[in-house]
Structure 1
C-alpha cells in the first residue's frame, strides 16, 4: 500500500513539474514575442502614389526614423489613405499616412469602412493641409465644377481618400458620380490622362504643390476649378472635417489664387506598438524636420499636431507632446 502511495505521489509531482515547466516556457515565449513586437527590426511606412505628397515625405520620414531609432524603416507606395488603414488593420504595416476624414470613417465604420471598423489604429498627429484640387486644362474649356457633367473625370485611385472628397463636392453642387464618366486613377495616371486627352479633369487631394500637377503644368496651361463660397460653407456645415483653403497664385503658374477646401494629412500607427517605440518615432520626426526638403515640411509643426486629429492619439505620441507642453484642443 505504501509503495503504491509513493508511486502515485511521485507521478503527481512529475506531472506538476512538467506542467510548471511548460507554463514557464510558454511565458518565456510570450515575453520574447512581446519584446519582438515592441522593438521590431524593420518597420513599414505606407505612403501613397509616387505623384502625391505622401511618397516624398514618407521617404524622408523613413530615413529619419532609421537614423534616429536604429530600426530599418522603409517607405512603401500604396493606394493611400483608405488602403493604408486597411493594411494597418490587417497587421501588415506599422505606420501610415492618411487623411483625417478617412481615419474618422475607419473608426466609425462609415463610407468605405461600412461594417469593417478599424479599431487597432491610433494617431501620431496631424501634419499639414491636404488641398482638394480639381485639375483640368485651359484647352478643355471646363471652367466650373458644373461643367464636369458628362466629362471623363478621375476621382482618385481605388482605396484612396479622394473618392469621398469628390463625391461630397459634387453633392453640394447638386451632382453625383452618375453625372460624370468616372475614372479611378492615381495622381500620375490622372495627369497623364489629361495630357493625352483620355480624361478631361481629375480630383487630386494632396499638399500643394503636388508633384503630378507640377509635371503637367510644364506642358499644359493648368486650370484649378474654384469652389464658390456658398458651396464651401455648405460643405463644411455638413462635413465639418473640411476647412477652407486655397491654391495660391503662382502655383502651377496660376494667374490668380483659387478658393477651395482641404482636409488634413496625418500619421497613424498600429495601437499595439509600444509606448516607447512610438515616442521615439514621434520625437525623431518632429525634431528633425529640418532634414526634410519637401516644401510641406515648413507647414509641419509639433504645436499643431493635436489639432483636428479626430481619433485617439497613441500614448507614445501623447507622451512626447505632453513633454513639450502641447495639449489636445
Structure 2
C-alpha cells in the first residue's frame, strides 16, 4: 500500500527539483562567423565562461556568415549575443549601408582586433592591391565583415568588386582554393594567427599583399573607425612584422535584452579575462575598460558590471 507521507515527500522533492536552477537553464546562442577565422574559437571560449559562471544560463557558439550578418541575426531574434566588427555594428545601429534601417542592438564590451589578411602564394604576380584587377579572389562569406574593409582598400586603388572575380566562401574554403590554385588570392578578416592562413602556410609558401603605408594612412583618414595593427613576425613566420589594416571587435546583443541576463553574461566573460586568454590567445588583447569607448551604446546590464569593476 502506498504510504501517503512518502508520496507527499516525493512530490515535494520533485517540485523542488523542477524549480532548481539546474533544471531551468536558459540556452543562449552566440553568433560567431565561418570556420577558419578567429570569431568561432573566441565565441567558443566566451561561451565556456558563460556555461561555467553565469548561473541559470548556458551558451552555445553558432556558425554564421560573420560580422555583417550578425547584427541582422541579433535584430531578428535568431541570436542572443554575437561577435561583431566595430564598424559594421555601428553601421547597423545607425541604419547606414549595408543596412537599410537601424537595428536595435547594444554593445557588451570589446574583444580582440581583427586584421585584414590579403594573401597570395609566394612568387605570384599579385604583390599590390592594384594587381588584384582581373584576378580570382576568395573574399570570404557574403555576410562577412571582410567585404567592407576589402571594398574600402580597393576603392583607394580605383578598384571595385567588378574588377575582380570574387569567390564568396568561408575562410577555410577560400584558403583551400588558394592552395590548389583555384584563386589568385584569398582574404580573411580575422584575429591573428588565423587558422585558415596557418593551415595554408603548412602546405605552401604564402605572401601577404601589401597595402602600403600611404594607402593605410589614406584609409584611416577616410574611415577613422579602422586602425593600423602591427602583427609580430612570429605570428606567421615572416621575415619582419606585418603592418595590416584592422578593426576592433565587440560583443553585441538586443538593445531590449533583459538587464539581469546581460549583466550575468558580461560578468561571466569580463571578470575572468585571464581564464579567457588561457583558452584563446586573442583574448589577451582585451582591455575591459574600452567598453566605455564603443560607438554602439553600452547595454545597461553591461554598464552595471563595468561600473562595479
What's 1:159 paired with? 143
Could you tell me how far apart the structure 1 residues matched to 2:198 and 2:292 are? Answer: 30
| Cα drift, residue 153 of structure 1 | 0.8
Contact 1:242–1:261 (CA under 8 A) maintained in structure 2: yes
Unaligned ranges ≥5, structure 1: 1-38, 325-329
Could you tell me how far apart the structure 1 residues matched to 2:154 and 2:225 are? Answer: 17
| Cα drift, residue 40 of structure 1 | 7.0
Could you tell me how far apart the structure 2 residues matched to 1:306 and 1:133 are? Answer: 28
Question: Which structure has the bigger radius of gyration?
Answer: 1
Could you tell me how far apart the structure 2 residues matched to 1:294 and 1:214 are? Answer: 16
Check if 1:265 corresponds to 2:249: yes
RMSD between aligned residues: 1.5
What's 1:250 paired with? 234
The 5 Å alignment of 1:222-261 reads 222-261=206-245
What's 1:31 paired with? none
Could you tell me how far apart the structure 2 residues matched to 1:109 and 1:271 are? Answer: 14
Check if 1:63 corresponds to 2:63: no
What's 2:17 paired with? none
What's 1:280 paired with? 264
Q: TM-score scaled by structure 2?
A: 0.88
Q: What SS class does the counterpart of residue 250 from structure 1 fall into?
A: helix
What's 1:132 paired with? 116
Could you tell me how far apart the structure 2 residues matched to 1:179 and 1:252 are? Answer: 29
Q: Identify the match of residue 283 of structure 2 among 284, 292, 297.
A: 297
Unaligned ranges ≥5, structure 2: 1-23
Check if 1:312 corresponds to 2:302: no
Check if 1:75 corresponds to 2:64: no
Q: What SS class does the counterpart of residue 253 from structure 1 fall into?
A: coil
Contact 2:291–2:298 (CA under 8 A) maintained in structure 1: no
Check if 1:42 corresponds to 2:33: no
Q: Identify the match of residue 182 of structure 2 among 171, 182, 198.
A: 198
Which structure dedicates a bigger proportion of its chain to helix?
1
Could you tell me how far apart the structure 2 residues matched to 1:276 and 1:168 are? Answer: 39
1:207-228 deviations in whole A, cap 9, x for unaligned?
A: 0100110111111112112221
- How many positions carry a matched residue from both structures? 283
What's 2:96 paired with? 110
Contact 2:117–2:244 (CA under 8 A) maintained in structure 1: yes
